[in-house]
A and B are shown apart, each in its own frame.
Chain A
């Protein structure tokens, strides 16, 4: 009897999860991206592992502070182009229960996964949840984008995360491959740790541009100490944050030359960019529909993952031209340089989460052609759990570059911490006090209306917003029919 219940457990879990999903949608609680998994895990704690083990082509996991969602979308596009069918946790459902929900949605009532022979798991993992997700899905490939300081109140310090990851990587299957960013000293060091097991296959990717953007990392950079001896690293070039070509002047530890390498990146404003890459000696040109150097990194991570998958995934046939074409089909993920049209104005939605990511977004704006200046900006700062309760990171961003350069016409501040945002712009040199050029309107949608109404005829409005602020804004715009609801779109 006990035995019967144990074997029935996955079936019960799947059924309960599916009921929860339906109830969640009916109750208007969104697309059910985490509740089904949560319910299923209550009944069968190992449900994610049980179902993931049935994926015929194994799994890939994408982790890192910034770029997870875009990188995972890019990997998905490449896998699809190679004829595979990714089972992909979308909508930022990147905790273990999100992975479980994704798998439950693809399972039959008898508790078995219902997928074709070309199904492959593709899971984006939250920093804190990564060890548990790795234990559950036993991936053949783990892609790491970068590690930046992000929500200390939630994740803890970078060193603590890296230490937990190192331990988790050591427990991966011996034939699993790590795909690591060579330009991020902390991430790169995860590949050369002797404790991670000798013989672990690592594919590095990075940029080798003719010149860096900076001679040294900004003061706010994180991993500037040598991972071996603790001395400050010396950089030959810096691309952004602490990403660049580094070496330790004290012990000689240095960046490896990555086999997957970006040699040139040309920007087309916020519309896209062109990446010239080399993959193991073969040149490939990629036209990206997403802007910024950070998206060039995401594309390189995806190419490196594809390169690694070539060996790791049975029968995966992939040529670089196909992969490049697939990358070119990936549009902006939720709120990442997404363009809307509202009342004759282009409205650009730009998600900001942490200082390094925000700086790259600000750099996109300050890099716009001169005729775009001065800009109309809407800055929305929330401090809900998913944004991080601690908003002090805004003081680590380079808002001065925009504010002091006279690049801003008007800054509307919104969100639960609108006053903090306004204060940041004031001290950055934009306005002495919240005058006409810096109104504070807490409600994001009302603030957007005001910002659009105040913008000169036809002028774009640039919206930088934290995660829950972006959700809130999109929800409001969806109710007006301007955008489709995020969850609807993602679940479609």
Chain B
């Protein structure tokens, strides 16, 4: 029996969920359910106007270049004002890869015009062209005391414009393969290149976001879960990547 209902707005599941990003949604739904909380998923495609003020969490994943272009306009024009207002009110947002790039100030793709972003994160992204090496491979990031593990695969290089990174790259490329930074956090907005997907193997981050959402509903701290399998999958990748260094 659910004693709490949380609402997650999932932005562009049809166009922006390249490679397993919906696993993040699955992780949040299950980790809520195992605690007797119901996480309702509200998908929002191009043309939809979801009520961000009534949401507790927002997710956006990555997409191919053409999808990113279609989505960028809609994100800015239709969803932008409501999302911006809700974020200033503390609405937590998790953006991965292409979605992460679109939350910055600008994204310059390999071909075509520069896309203006939503400006929720202080960063800009430049794609150095298809001839440049893609930042692809397993990645480990130090997030406070935690180690986040995942897989990254991006052509664009992201540079923070004074903001705070999500963490420090322990192995892999991260934002740009140069400055050792990965992701960005500004208030309640989290952006990262890590997919894999990110949340199932990093339950601490999943619960961190879920706790932010629960707090908006006045719900207490989250009960602990048995994460033996999550830890096994996390540690196996950590051991492999760190062993290779």
Task: Give A contacts to B, CB under 8 Å.
Answer: 149, 152-153, 156-160, 219-221, 224-225, 230, 232, 389-396, 417, 419-420, 422-424, 426-429, 432-434, 440
Contact = CB atoms under 8 A, between A and B. Distances in A.
Contact of A158 (B64, B137, B153, B195): B64
B67 A225 contact: yes
A462 B196 CA distance: 26
Given A156-B134, A422-B233, 12 more contacts: A149-B18, A157-B64, A159-B66, A219-B14, A224-B14, A232-B46, A389-B138, A390-B151, A392-B197, A424-B23, A432-B34, A433-B226
Interface in B176-233: 195-197, 200-201, 226, 228-230, 232-233
Contact of B19 (A152, A419, A427, A429): A152
Given A152-B18, A420-B201, A395 B23 contact: yes
Contacts of A396: 17, 19-20, 22-23
Contacts of A157: 18, 64-65
The 5 closest A-B pairs by CB, nearest first: A392-B20, A395-B23, A395-B20, A419-B233, A157-B64
A159 B19 contact: no
Contacts of B13: 219
A396 B30 CA distance: 16
Interface in B132-156: 134, 136-138, 151, 153
Contacts of B201: 420, 423
B230 to A, nearest CB: 6
B226 A423 contact: no
B27 interface: yes
A390 B19 contact: yes
Given A390-B151, A392-B197, A225 B15 contact: yes
Given A159-B64, A225-B67, A427 B23 contact: yes
Interface in B54-70: 64-67, 70
A433 B229 contact: yes
Interface in B40-57: 45-46
Given A225-B66, A395-B22, A427 B15 contact: no
Interface residues of B, number: 40
Most buried by B among A153, A427, A434: A427
B22 A152 contact: no
A232 B232 CA distance: 40
A434 B197 CA distance: 20
Given A395-B197, A426-B229, A390 B153 contact: yes
5 contacts: A152-B153, A153-B137, A159-B64, A417-B236, A434-B229
Contacts of B195: 392
Contacts of A230: 66, 70
A427 B26 contact: yes
A432 B226 contact: yes
Nearest to B150: A392
A225 B19 contact: no
A423 to B, nearest CB: 5
A152 B98 CA distance: 14
A432 B30 CA distance: 10
A428 B134 CA distance: 31
A398 B45 CA distance: 21
A417 B232 CA distance: 11
A419 B30 CA distance: 18
A389 B45 CA distance: 30
Most buried by B among A389, A390, A422: A390
Contacts of B22: 219-220, 395-396
A282 to B, nearest CB: 39
Contacts of B27: 427
A390 B19 CA distance: 9
Contact of B229 (A152, A395, A422, A428): A422
A148 to B, nearest CB: 12
Contacts of B18: 149, 152, 157
B105 to A, nearest CB: 24
B199 to A, nearest CB: 10
A224 B64 CA distance: 12
A221 B136 CA distance: 23
B75 to A, nearest CB: 15
Interface string B19-37: 1111100110010001000
B111 to A, nearest CB: 10
